[in-house]
């Protein structure tokens, strides 16, 4: 620990020497709407673009401008970066990276493809996805499936440095996009279904040297929490805040993985992310609140120390990972302008918090079908303040092992998974791609073996009773916690949204459509069917005076596993075939970028 | 549409029969001929399912359903139907023998070429899989033969004492 502290101090000192510069550079670049320099669009994770050449009046004239195949047939999550004349595009395992020259007919400037042991494939829960690249300081950063974090020279694709972030033989894998903050590259890790003690780690931008590592569960010096200064809902968390909530050494295989998105507020010097499900999926086997899984974290990027935490789903019983993006937006709540953080959790609740201190402002269901909870206790003087009130009928802890708890909404997929929402400051609304799926969940005892799945529950999924659509694309008011409009989709919407100053919101569908809708009303303005189902995130950029919209196709991810064959109909009798539409009747594997623009030069 | 489908299926059957390679089950005739402590075997001694006309399944089909949907479905999809990521085992067992199934589950398999990178891990050291490999086989065999549909078995025979004993000795007291 002393060593760690020393390193942290040195890191902080180095930051003043050169790192702050990188931060300024990136921040400035992210404000140029022609570029798309971060996987999340901007530090605030708004996925909003000021470009408006394509707008609600002309988006129906959109045409395909050019296409590009990644050469991989797997689930394609994330989206490309654009920095000046160059587009940087990634793919799923084996994780190729392409630099495309936008000034010369998108010619391949360089390609990087790491040599990785294919044994990492089966320890990647739910497909070999990768959520994208980061750029800073003339380098491109990639978190490979085998957890190697690699820095590539943005001009040549040559490896500048590489660091090992985990060990795939223990079920640790890399799927998330790195994020550069100041002089550090921040990166999470996957493996919640393999009993990994997950963490966020900071690497030095210049050298790739590890600066600090903050686990999601464990002793205070491992989770980088100050018992007196780190708060939850305004109160210090106290000593051993995580250890006290696990039985024995279970925190060592506790999960809490960190494979979602990272946002950053430069003025507060805090970055935000969520931790995932506690391992195993059998709640009976891990008594306690299992802190700090399922938690919103606010940390200082220089030291990694946590300023505040908020655990959304204490003692998870349904696999409701808390990893979804934290969108930073300043909103007027009850007549006061607040620096807020808005988060659409897997558990089906949309949270609005004060991001300066973690105060809970709003927690409401963003799918009316959510039934495992009656809501969050908002009474500040209540002993259960901030906790969700769990309905016994849908509590797999209450019903116990070897009992099939039926009809829980949402399913383990969550009302939303990693597919990020967008926020438009023009309308003040959040645009949220959602899943509309329920489940049966039966936990049972499992034993832990390093590098092997550690799941412990059987589940089957289906649309809410009496309905057949499995997704909605909604507009959400984060000030009040209300749905403003909602469009039905046949399948879960597993694509990250894009909002633009043109009054248009874009998203993809699992059948493969890129769709454009009116930001105010949700009215569909345009759609085009790309070669494969979409689980990627829409982005936009401007080149040569023209605005482009780009999306990765390539069906897969958890959506490709759960929905390919169609969901199970729990009410069907003996010998029934799938009761609901199967994705495989609509689309097949692919791996392609489709880029759209308006006709004419 | 239904008629056309039926005709196609019929044509396929005829072709297969003509070629003399009707392979509905890679382990041969699935009919249960022996019951040993609630575990059923076919005439070749391979584990098999026993499903009564009222939908009551044997313990191992039920247990296999549960274990499959915990350990296997995150790659192989619900109900053995397959995913964008891994083959549907419901179909695999139409040509794969019991011995081959055991070999792949325990030892893993790699199928890496220019078109695909499919890797199945070795589960031999994972008691949550290895101790229940027969259960999974029996369930998937029922799926392969369309003896069981895409639904959770609602009625099952009682858990045999032999299953409880085997489980506790195999899991090494961990369960």
Could you give the CA distance from residue A117 to residue A488 in angstroms, rounded to a whole number?
41
A 541-600: CB under 8 A from B: 555-556, 560-562, 564-570, 572-579, 583, 589
ipTM of the complex: 0.81
Could you give the CA distance from residue A572 to residue A445 in angstroms, rounded to a whole number?
28
Cα distances (angstroms) measured from residue A579 to each of A83, A537, A568, A576, B79: 46, 29, 6, 8, 12
Could you give the CA distance from residue A478 to residue A290 in angstroms, rounded to a whole number?
28
Q: Domain span at residue B73?
A: 26-167
Nearest to A327 by CA among A404, A462, A429, A188: A429
The pLDDT tens digits of the residues spanning B66-109 come to 999 888 988 898 899 988 888 999 999 999 999 999 999 999 98
Instruction: Phi first, then psi: give them for residue A121, nearest 5 degrees.
Output: -55, -50
Catalytic residue numbers of A read 319
Supply the pLDDT for residue A581. Answer: 67
pLDDT along chain A (601 residues), means of 10: 44 43 82 97 98 98 98 95 98 97 98 92 86 98 98 98 96 97 97 94 98 98 98 98 97 97 97 97 96 98 98 97 98 96 98 98 98 98 97 97 95 95 98 95 90 87 88 98 97 96 98 98 98 97 98 90 69 43 86 96 66
Q: Are A273 and A292 in contact (CB under 8 A)?
A: no
- Does any domain span residue B15? no
Structure token pair of residue B105:
């589950």
- Is the bond preceding residue A94 a cis peptide, omega within 30 degrees? yes
Supply the pLDDT for residue A38. Answer: 97
B110 pLDDT band, cuts 50/70/90, is confident
Q: Are B74 and A453 in contact (CB under 8 A)?
A: yes
- Does any domain span residue B52? yes
**A vs B: CB pairs below 8 A:** 141
Count of structural domains within chain B: 1
Give me the CATH number covering residue B68.
1.10.760.10
Q: Are A160 and A89 in contact (CB under 8 A)?
A: no
Could you give the CA distance from residue A317 to residue A343 in angstroms, rounded to a whole number?
20
SS (H, E, C) A112-174: ECCCCCHHHHHHCCCCCCCCCCEEECCEEEEECCCCEEEEEECCCCCEEEEEECCCHHHCCEC
CA atoms A522, A526, A530, A536: torsion sign: negative
Judged against a pLDDT cut of 50, whether residue B12 lies above it is answered with no
Structure token pair of residue A512:
């493969």
Q: Which of A193, A449, A562 sits opposite B78 (nearest CB)?
A: A562
B118 pLDDT band, cuts 50/70/90, is confident
- Does any domain span residue B108? yes
Indicate yes or no: CB of B81 within 8 angstroms of CB of A564: yes
- Does any domain span residue B125? yes
- Does any domain span residue B160? yes
Interface test with A, best of B52, B68, B72, B83 (most A CBs within 10 A): B83
- Does any domain span residue B138? yes
Could you give the CA distance from residue A202 to residue A444 in angstroms, rounded to a whole number?
37
CA atoms A25, A26, A32, A37: torsion sign: positive
Find, in chain A, the residue whose alpha carbon is nearest to that of B70.
A458
Q: How many CB atoms lie within 10 A of CB A450?
A: 14
Domains of chain A, earliest start first: 2-43+79-477 (2.140.10.10)
Cα distances (angstroms) measured from residue B171 to each of A239, A254, A446, B43, B130: 36, 21, 9, 29, 9
- Is the bond preceding residue A292 a cis peptide, omega within 30 degrees? yes
pTM for this predicted structure: 0.91
Q: Are A81 and A39 in contact (CB under 8 A)?
A: yes
């Amino acid at each position: 620990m002393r060593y760690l502290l020393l390193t942290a101090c040195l890191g902080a000192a180095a930051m003043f020497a050169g790192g702050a510069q990188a931060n300024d550079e990136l921040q400035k670049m992210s404000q140029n709407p022609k570029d798309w320099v971060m996987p999340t669009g901007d530090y605030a994770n708004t996925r909003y673009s000021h470009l408006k050449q394509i707008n609600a009046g002309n988006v129906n004239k959109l045409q395909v401008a050019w296409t590009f195949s990644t050469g991989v047939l797997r689930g394609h999550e994330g989206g490309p970066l654009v920095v000046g004349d160059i587009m940087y595009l990634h793919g799923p395992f084996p994780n190729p990276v392409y630099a495309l020259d936008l000034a010369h007919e998108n010619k391949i400037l360089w390609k990087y493809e790491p040599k990785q042991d294919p044994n990492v494939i089966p320890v990647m829960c739910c497909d070999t996805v990768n959520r994208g690249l980061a750029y800073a300081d003339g380098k491109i950063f990639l978190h490979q499936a085998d957890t190697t974090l690699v820095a590539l020279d943005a001009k040549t694709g040559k490896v500048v440095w590489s660091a090992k972030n985990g060990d795939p033989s223990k079920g640790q894998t890399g799927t998330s996009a790195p994020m550069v903050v100041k002089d550090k590259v921040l990166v999470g890790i996957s493996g919640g279904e393999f009993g990994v003690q997950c963490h966020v780690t900071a690497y030095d931008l210049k050298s790739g040297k590890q600066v600090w590592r903050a686990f999601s569960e464990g002793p205070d010096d491992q989770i980088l929490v100050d018992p007196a200064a780190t708060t939850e809902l305004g109160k210090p968390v106290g000593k051993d805040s995580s250890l006290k909530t696990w039985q024995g050494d279970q925190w060592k295989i506790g999960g809490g993985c960190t494979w979602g998105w990272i946002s950053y507020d430069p003025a507060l010097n805090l970055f935000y992310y969520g931790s995932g499900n506690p391992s195993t999926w059998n709640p009976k086997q891990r008594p306690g609140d299992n802190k700090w899984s399922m938690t919103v974290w606010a940390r200082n990027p220089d030291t990694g120390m946590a300023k505040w935490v908020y655990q959304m789903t204490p003692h998870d019983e349904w696999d409701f990972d808390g990893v979804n993006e934290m969108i930073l937006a300043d909103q007027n709540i009850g007549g006061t302008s607040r620096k807020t953080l808005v988060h659409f959790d897997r558990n089906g609740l949309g949270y609005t918090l004060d991001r300066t201190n973690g105060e809970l402002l709003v927690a409401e269901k963003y799918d009316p079908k959510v039934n495992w909870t009656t809501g969050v206790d908002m009474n500040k003087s209540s002993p259960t303040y901030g906790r969700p009130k769990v309905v016994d009928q849908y509590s797999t802890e209450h019903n116990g092992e070897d009992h099939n708890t039926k009809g829980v909404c949402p399913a383990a997929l969550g009302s939303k998974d990693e597919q990020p929402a967008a926020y438009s400051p023009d309308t003040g609304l959040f645009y949220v791609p959602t899943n509309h799926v329920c489940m049966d969940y039966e936990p049972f005892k499992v034993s832990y073996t390093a590098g092997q799945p550690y799941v412990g529950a059987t589940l089957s999924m289906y649309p809410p009773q009496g309905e057949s659509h499995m997704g909605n694309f909604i507009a959400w008011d984060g000030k009040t916690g209300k749905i403003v409009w909602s469009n039905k989709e046949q399948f879960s919407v597993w694509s990250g949204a894009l909002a633009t100053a043109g009054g248009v919101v874009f998203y993809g569908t699992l059948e493969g459509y890129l769709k454009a809708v009116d930001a105010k009303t949700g009215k569909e303005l345009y759609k085009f069917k790309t070669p494969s189902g979409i689980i990627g995130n829409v982005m936009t950029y401007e080149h040569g005076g023209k605005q482009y919209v780009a999306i990765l196709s390539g069906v897969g991810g958890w959506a490709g596993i759960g929905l390919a064959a169609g969901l199970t109909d729990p009410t069907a009798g003996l010998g029934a075939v799938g009761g609901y539409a199967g994705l495989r009747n609509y689309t097949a594997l692919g791996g392609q970028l489709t880029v759209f623009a308006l006709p004419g030069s | 549409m239904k008629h056309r489908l039926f005709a196609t299926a019929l044509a396929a059957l005829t072709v297969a029969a003509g070629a003399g390679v009707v392979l509905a089950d890679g382990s041969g005739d699935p009919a249960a001929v022996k019951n040993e402590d609630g575990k059923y075997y076919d005439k070749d001694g391979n584990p098999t399912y026993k499903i009564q006309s009222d939908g009551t399944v044997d313990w191992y089909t039920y247990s296999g359903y549960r274990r499959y949907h915990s350990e296997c479905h995150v790659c192989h999809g619900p109900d053995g139907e397959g995913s964008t990521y891994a083959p549907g085992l419901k179909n695999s067992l139409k040509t794969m023998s019991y011995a081959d199934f055991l070999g792949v589950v325990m030892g893993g398999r790699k199928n890496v070429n220019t078109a695909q990178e499919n890797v199945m891990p070795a589960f031999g050291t994972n008691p949550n899989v290895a101790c229940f490999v027969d259960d999974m086989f029996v369930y998937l065999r029922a799926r392969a033969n369309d003896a069981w549909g895409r639904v959770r078995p609602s009625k099952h025979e009682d858990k045999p004492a032999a299953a409880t004993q085997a489980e506790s000795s195999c899991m090494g007291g961990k369960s």
